[in-house]
Structure 1
Amino acid sequence: MSGSLWLGGKEGQDTLPFIPRQRPPTPPADDPLAQLAQRFEDLAAVAVHPDEIAAILESDGMTDAQIRADYGHRDSFSLAEELYRRVARRHPAAPAPPREPWHTHLGSCLLRGLVFALPGLAYVLGAPLLAGPSAEFGLPAGTMALLAGTVTGWVWNQSLSHRAHSWLSLADRPAAVRALRVGAPLGAALSALSAVAASGPGELSAAAFAAGQCCYLAAATALLVLGRERPLFWALSPLTLGFVPGLPAAAGPLLLLVSLIAAVTLAVVTLRREEAGSRPRGAVSPPLSTSVPYGLFGLGAGVLVLYAALGDIFRHGSTGTVAGPSAVALTLSMGPAEWLLHRFRARSLAGLRTTSTARGFRGSVCATVVLCLAAYLLLLAGLAEAGSGLWPGAPALGGLRLATLLLIGAVLWTGLLLQSFGAATGAAVVCCAAAGAQTLALLVGAPPAAGPVVSGSAAVLLAALVCALLGRATAHRP
């Protein structure tokens, strides 16, 4: 082509002209000190003290007698001072700071938040399937089936997700795929059977709804572990059509079925396309026991989220399904919560570089926890306020309801923070204890103020664990 240069041609055939490299002038032979300065120029130029040059001279084998005979100086230190004076300083530029390992895009976290929250619309579209007389304790029809299937699915899928991520952390994606291929269908079957077993007479449609929800949870777990948030979002998009004005009542269950089939099909196709292979002989597996605390944390967190929805029913006499603006706000906030967890990790690493004492670093970590938690709770309050205004028949966001929701949010975020650092056992114990106390308070008819007391106590315990465990510099180093 015209104007192009071919650098691989022979001499004289479209080659670039040779430009000789500029070489420093050679010192005269009668000046051995200048020759020595040129020989050690690169090393002497970056020295910050003559003693560094003296050490270089001694390591080169120069003796004091040789130095006196050849260079006219009494010893290596005197010669080093002369070289330090002759050679100009050329300290190398400071290396660029490493790329932040905990950087993540807010958009991807918001997408995950939408994926977490969109299934809440299924309770609105599936209202005809959940219609009927009230169940035990004045709960809406089909609640026990939904609770049994959902809680079982949360426990199983949290454990399965941790198991698959453990394989991914070992750079063994085929093993993670094998775990999902076996665990996801098994979890869907177990949770669906739990839902059917907990359903009462005349609740066949509610049991079918709960079983479909269990299948969706298993499919979503596999897709989220493998990083397929965007396709899952499109599989859930038919649910948004439920708010189209004038939509027939029968269209709701149909949209649910379409979305469920899309999610399950997408999960099956994704797992079949992934390379699973066979497990090498002698390969070391992550212990199964390490996934148990994550499942228990899923149990406690799931019950607390359900309590946020059930509390409105007991306190305000709301009717309908167990889902509501409080539960949707909590699930929708999980996306920004994940982003704030990454920001905490990034700011903590920055604190390691900017603080010089253990006390200073502990104070930096505590300040970062307060900042990130406050940002999360403000966002959660905004989502709850918006949901209360948009959700049909939702109670007003009163002081007690808002306090309970924010305290549950504080429990979830601090628990997730501990879990992200591997301290899942403490987070699981506190969350499960709080969930058990909340359930007991509902069953015995405790006053509404018992909810904030339980959640507040759990939040204080988790905050103390965060400061005690994460205030140490060793917890933040790889």
Structure 2
Amino acid sequence: MSGSIWMPPGSRPDTLPAIPRQRTTPSWAQPDPLDELALRLDDFIAAAVHPDEIAALLESDGLSDDQIRERYGVKNSFALAEELYERVGRRYPEPEGPLQDPWRTGLLGCLLRGVVFALPGFGYVLGAPLLAGPHDDYGLPAGTVPLLAGALVGWTWNQGLAHRAYSWLGLGDRSAARRSLLLGAPVGALLGALVALAVAGSAHPVAVAFAAGQSVYLGAATVLLVMGRERALLLALLPMAAAAVVALVHSMPDAARAALLLGSLVAVAVLGLREVAFAGNAPKGHGPTSGPRLLASLPYALFGLATGVLVLYAALGDALADDTTGVVAAPAAVALTLSMGPAEWLLHRFRSGSLAGLRSSHTPRAFRRTTVLTAVRCLAAYLAALLALSLATSALWPDAPGIAGVRLAGLLLLGVVLWTGLLLQSFGAVSGAAAVCGAAALAQTLALLTHAAGPHWVALAVHGTAAAAQAVLVCGLLGRVTAHR
């Protein structure tokens, strides 16, 4: 019939024609989110030595584990990083332009810092006649207890203060760094003087005044060192150091000794104050509004306290020995202090070598091998420098006990503890170093208080255990690529 609509047999006349359904893409043809992510991050993934580098990038992009499970079907950022690492082949393109090495530094500057660290020791030589008197209740030379207490407080406080100031400098806010030093250095000096006064006991007032001056010096020197004014500090200390050398050969009136010490202290304090005097009026930097957390500096302060205790025990080893004549082993402390210059330079050499290893290594195993060899070479070089300095200071120091055998072994193991502690600190793992060194200082204190053994054998056992523990911590970080960035 003309005009009618043809329908298939059996169809109902009132049924409407079916609407065509949209075609769906088969699941096998849909793009894989992992492939898309691998393509987007191709250059970075191809240059990664270890999946941890990729995991760090993913976390910095704000990807949570829940998002990763929902989008990519793996449990966390590390699993996703390993999957991406397997999907992309390794490529190591050479960067355009000259290679940037932020860890490259000159040996002379580091040696200068080591000398600056050691020069204040001449102040004790110059001031020794001013502290003359009978030994105290602990059998130590007069004035030793307030001096040591003030020094430990200063090292602890100023280590934490230096970390906070360096943190501000790292954020690009130099004015905030100066403000923190302007506030923190006087507080630390006051705390050191008060603690020295509290433990003075029957010590002569001159010893308390000397300890107070020591606290002021530590605060001012921290300001100058953090702000990179090592040369100014060196020039302020040179007259006092030269006078101390002369005083070893020729007699010098006590008034002249006091005047030289006071003049050097005033010079350092004025230089430090000049460096930060106008920090309160300076405009705030354009860095982040929220600065570093105060608690972030606590592990650095504790590390300074622990290492300070260990170094003091090394200096007082002979005075604490049962069979001693009471001579304080100052050459050990001088050698350790001077060795901080080579230690700092070798630490920079290690970080520079590990950065070169990141560019040249094609596998995680090759990178770990490179960093381990670099660390061993740098540690061996530091121990060689410490050995040479120990022998030299022991030979030149008047009436100093010889350094050999157990005493020398303990000193070298303490050098291992100090250098690996600085290495852990540069990795950002200062909490582990503070815990190990703190436990070592506590163990050595308890052993000496209970007279468990001779101090040199105690030092050998404690330093050896601490060195082994920190070596384990270092080895755990050497192959972790993100720790070297």
Query: CA–CA distance in 2 between the matches of 1:197 and 1:116?
Result: 27
> CA 1:386–1:93 in 2, change beyond 3 Å: closer, same or farther?
closer
Residue in 2 that maps onto 1:231: 232
Q: What's 1:372 paired with? A: 378
Q: Quick one: distance in 2 between partners of 1:441 and 1:114?
A: 33
Q: Is the 8 A contact 1:175 1:276 kept in 2?
A: no
Structure 2 counterpart SS, 1:286 = coil
The residue that corresponds to 2:431 in the other structure is: 425
In structure 1, what residue type is equivalent to 2:464? G
1:154 aligns to what SS in structure 2?
helix
Supply the distance in 2 between the matched residues of 1:331 and 1:211 (Cα, whole angstroms). 21
Structure 1 residues 94 and 288: CA distance shift in structure 2, 3 A: closer
Residue 319 of structure 1 deviates from its aligned partner by 3.7
Shift of 1:99: 2.9
Alignment of 1:15-414 (within 5 A): 95-238=96-239, 239-244=241-246, 245-250=249-254, 251-272=256-277, 277=282, 279=284, 283-315=289-321, 317-319=324-326, 324-414=330-420
Correspondence for 2:473? 465
More deviation, 174-183/265-274:
265-274
Residues 441 and 451 in structure 1, CA contact (< 8 A), matched pair in contact too: no
Match of 1:454 in 2: 462
Percent identity of equivalent pairs: 58
Distance 1:179 1:439 in 2: 33
- In the alignment, which residue of structure 1 is the partner of 2:38? none
Deviation at 1:107, TM superposition (A): 0.6
Contact 2:149 2:195 in 1 (8 A): yes
Superimposed CA distance per residue, residues 27-70 of structure 1 (whole angstroms, 9 cap, x where no aligned partner): xxxxxxxxxxxxxxxxxxxxxxxxxxxxxxxxxxxxxxxxxxxx
User: In 1, Cα distance between the equivalents of 2:100 and 2:285?
Assistant: 34
How far apart, in 1, do the equivalents of 2:210 and 2:366 lie?
53
- Match for 2:250: what amino acid? G
For residues 475 and 264 of structure 1, what CA distance do their matches in structure 2 show?
Answer: 38
CA deviation vs aligned residue, 1:187-238 (integer Å, no higher than 9, x gap): 0001111011111224211111111111100000001010000000011112
- Give the alignment partner of residue 442 of structure 1, picking from 443, 448, 463: 448
Question: Does structure 2 retain, via aligned residues, the 8 Å contact 1:216–1:263?
Answer: yes
- The answer to whether the 8 Å contact 2:142/2:203 transfers is no
CA contact (8 A) 1:177 1:276 kept: no
1:23 alignment partner in structure 2: none
| Secondary structure class of the residue paired with 2:138 | helix
Mapped contact 1:318–1:394 kept (Cα < 8 A): no
Judge which range, 94-103 or 328-337, deviates more: 94-103
User: 3-state DSSP class of the match of 1:138?
Assistant: coil
CA distance in structure 2 between the aligned counterparts of 1:141 and 1:389, rounded to whole angstroms? 25
Instruction: Give the corresponding residue for 2:19.
Output: none
Partner-residue secondary structure (3-state), 1:126: helix
8 Å contact kept, 2:126–2:243: no
What amino acid is aligned across from residue 361 of structure 1 in structure 2? F
Deviations, residues 120-143 of structure 1 (Å, cap 9, x unaligned): 111111111221111233222112
SS of alignment partner, residue 128 of structure 1: helix
Residue 411 of structure 1: CA displacement? 0.4
Residue in 2 aligned with 1:30? none
Q: Is the Cα contact below 8 Å between 1:142 and 1:200 reproduced in 2?
A: no
Does the CA-based 8 Å contact 1:174-1:276 persist in structure 2?
no
Alignment check: 8 A CA contact 2:152 2:305 kept: yes
Consecutive unaligned residues of structure 2, counting only runs of 5 or more, are 1-92
Q: Distance in 2 between matches of 1:106 and 1:261?
A: 30
1:276 CA displacement? 5.1
Shift of 1:373: 0.7
Bigger drift between 267-276 and 395-404 goes to 267-276
Structure-1 separation of matches of 2:409 and 2:95: 50
Cα offset for 1:275?
7.5
| Post-superposition CA distance 1:152-188 (Å, at most 9, x none) | 1111000000000000000000000000000000100
Higher RCO structure (Cα 8 Å, ≥6 apart)? 2
In the TM superposition, residue 249 of structure 1 has moved relative to its aligned partner by 4.2
Tell me if structure 1 keeps the 8 A contact 2:172–2:285.
Answer: no
Please give the TM-score of this superposition, normalised by the length of structure 2.
Answer: 0.76
CA shift for structure 1 position 474: 1.6
Structure 1 window deviating more from structure 2 (388-397 vs 165-174): it is: 388-397
Partners of 1:174 and 1:277 within 8 A in 2: yes
Residue pair 1:297, 1:428 contacting (<8 A) in 2 also: yes
Are the aligned partners of 1:178 and 1:276 in contact in 2 as well (CA < 8 Å)? no
For residue 258 of structure 1, what is the amino acid of its counterpart?
G
CA distance in 2, matches of 1:179, 1:353: 38
Deviation string, structure 1 residues 401-438 (Cα, Å, up to 9, x no partner):
11111111110110011101111100100011111111
C-alpha distance in structure 1 between counterparts of 2:414 and 2:340, whole Å: 13
Change (3 A) 1:255 1:348: same
Distance 1:93 1:106 in 2: 28
State the 1:292 CA deviation: 0.2
> 1:272 Cα deviation (Å)?
1.9
Shift of residue 317, structure 1, vs aligned partner: 2.3
Q: Which residue type is aligned with residue 111 of structure 1? A: L
Aligned partner of residue 120 in structure 2, secondary structure: helix
Q: Distance in 1 between matches of 2:393 and 2:308?
A: 20
Native 8 Å contact 1:123 1:323 kept in 2: no
SS in 1 for 2:362: coil
Change (3 A) 1:318 1:336: farther
Which 10-residue stretch deviates more, 93-102 or 196-205? 93-102
SS at structure 1 position matched to 2:119:
helix
5+ long unaligned stretches in structure 1: 1-91
| Range that drifts further, 282-291 or 381-390 | 282-291
* C-alpha distance 257-471 of structure 1, shift in aligned 2 (>3 A): same
1:13 is matched with none
Q: Distance in 2 between matches of 1:348 and 1:366?
A: 9
Matched residue type, 1:243: V
Tell me if the contact between 2:196 and 2:208 (Cα under 8 Å) persists in the aligned partners.
yes
Question: Alpha-carbon deviations, 1:415-471, whole Å to 9, x = none?
Answer: 011101111100100011111111112211122312111101000110110110232
What do you get for the CA RMSD once the two structures are aligned?
A: 1.9
